[in-house]
Amino acid sequence: MGAVAVLLTAMLVAACGHGGVAPRQKSVPDRTGPADAGVVRTALGLVRGQVAADYRLFQGIPYAAPPVGPLRWQPPRPPAAWHGMRDGSKPGPQCMQESRGRKATGEDCLTLNVWTPPLKAHAEKHPVMVWIHGGGFVNGSGDIYNSRWLVSQGHIVVVTINYRLGTLGFLAHPSLGAGDHVGNYGLADQQAALRWVRDNIADFGGDPTRVTIAGESAGAMSVCDHLVAPGSVGLFRAAIMQSGPCQAQADLATEQRTSLDYAASVGCTDPGTAAQCLRTLPATKLARPPWYMRIGDSDSLSGPATGTAILPVDPVAAIAAGRAAKVPVLIGTNQDEFTMFTALRYLRLGRTMTAAEYPRVLTDIFGPDGRAVVSHYPPERYVGDVSLAYSAAVTDGVFACVAYRMAEALRRGSPVYAYEFDDRGAPAPDPLRRAPFPVGASHSLELRYLFGVGGAPPLSPAQRQLSGQMIDYWTQFVTTGVPKAAGQPGWPSLGGDPAHTPYMSLRPDGSRVVSNFAESHQCPFWASLKGKR
């Protein structure tokens, strides 16, 4: 999500060295035999990556043409072939964003990275996980997710992707297309990347018939969209959603109004010439994103518009109506999702939320239900700490119970495996540790247990053990559609009985199946509200 995306992106970028050295080229392979494990022949040309003892890595591979010039705010077009050997030893630029990281950004950014297990002759094709990065649809990139653990321990192929962000990815100005064919360019990029995986991943040792889409935060919101988007049908066989507030997506009319105001703010005021005006602006003038959704005064999002040609329906409504793809789903949230955003609010303002502000902020978020939420989450229940009460209310109302309702709806047609990440001592980046309250198992902190990212204290031995268990669960789900971990508790699906709601509680003192997720997050209360958040 927006504000946290900047901090999280900087945290991940700080520790994403991949290691591994590409060997000296000796011969050019063909598709019949791997003469050189560091070289892959794709339909568009040869690419040389890095080879280490327990993985191979090919970076910066184009999956679409550069969306520049007349292709700005157009659907992604196929990439051009290249001559000679393409250098896949380093990632491509991040897509344009307001980032505090040190990486290059630019419009020519539609590339992906492929992590594979070591090449073995006559080996079976590996299942594939396509990871869609988070960042509020305004920050982030695929290369900051070091996937070595997933590949070496789980024996899967991992593809991490870039997609257009912010203004260049989601501006929905009416002049940019006819009718509902505006906006959602970043979502279309993700679909193009999935088509690239379908057509090319076998060359890297992946099985195009066993593709799982996965993501966290905005990445999980994207997965929600692909579950209901017509253009995504058939491009994956399973889905993973981590901490995705999938309801926080605006409709086309809202995004068009905001986009008109945005265009005017950058000097393109005439609707008749706005498209030409916008396309001639330097990309740097468009780095500030349009904000379509806000969660109180803590965070904002850009992102996909519902009611468009690419995303005709609201994903949460479509899932509730049973109109989502019938695929196995792994879905979950973190115990203390919103404490990170509350901590960022504290760092921005230099003070905690006051008791007088509390009702107003909750009303901003929950509208007419705000008063009921204040009564149900009194600070007295949280040792008198307004920040903790605020965090608990938004964790439950925006994250936990939305995911719970989606899981309940999805299980009517497919196997669903639900989890809660509940390591209250999960390492957090330094700025968050300065907040005067514990952030606990907050938004995004589970990522360090799956990917080799840093920016925080190292995992303890017990946390490293939990990391290994989570990698087993995740990669077995990618492989078989069922999460399993050797020597760990069996993970039952939600099944068809509404009274039976087993959740896997992921904890360093021993993961376990629990049945009180809905009660502990006050989901019956949220279901009783008029807004039914």
Q: What does pLDDT average to in each consecutive run of 10 residues of the chain (533 residues)?
A: 49 37 31 69 96 97 97 97 96 87 86 96 92 96 97 98 98 96 97 98 98 98 98 98 96 97 97 95 95 79 95 97 98 97 94 96 94 97 96 97 97 96 96 94 97 89 98 98 95 80 97 96 94 57
Q: Which helix (H) or strand (E) holds 294?
A: strand 293-295
Length of the chain: 533
**Phi–psi pair at 308, nearest 5 degrees:** -115, 170
Question: Catalytic pick from 89, 141, 147, 217?
Answer: 217
Q: What is the pLDDT of residue 454?
A: 73
Question: Is 443 noted as a catalytic residue in this protein?
Answer: yes
List domains and CATH numbers for the chain: 39-528 (3.40.50.1820)
Cβ-count burial 208-234 (b if 16+ within 10 Å, e if not)? eebbbbbbbbbbbbbbbbbbbbebbee
Residue showing tokens 């307004």: 386
3-state DSSP call for residue 527? Answer: helix
Q: What is the pLDDT of residue 297?
A: 66
DSSP code of 251?
B
Q: Rg (Cα) of the chain, in Å, rounded?
A: 22
Q: What is the pLDDT of residue 35?
A: 59
Q: What is the pLDDT of residue 16?
A: 36
Q: What is the pLDDT of residue 117?
A: 97
Q: What is the pLDDT of residue 1?
A: 59
**Taking a C-beta distance cutoff of 8 angstroms, is the pair 422, 507 a contact?**
yes
Sign of the alpha-carbon torsion through 138, 140, 141, 147: negative
Contacts of 239 by beta carbon, 8 Å cutoff, 6+ apart: 212, 213, 214, 223, 226, 227, 325, 327, 328, 329, 330
d(CA 278, CA 491): 51
Q: What is the pLDDT of residue 32?
A: 38
3-state DSSP call for residue 54? Answer: coil
Question: Is 232 noted as a catalytic residue in this protein?
Answer: no
**Phi–psi pair at 448, nearest 5 degrees:** -70, -15
Sign of the alpha-carbon torsion through 93, 94, 98, 101: negative
The CA distances from residue 240 to 69, 89, 217, 333, in Å, are 35, 28, 11, 11
d(CA 107, CA 110): 8
Question: Is 155 noted as a catalytic residue in this protein?
Answer: no
**Taking a C-beta distance cutoff of 8 angstroms, is the pair 308, 180 a contact?**
yes
**Taking a C-beta distance cutoff of 8 angstroms, is the pair 223, 214 a contact?**
yes
Question: Catalytic pick from 443, 493, 505, 521?
Answer: 443
Question: Catalytic pick from 337, 408, 420, 446?
Answer: 337
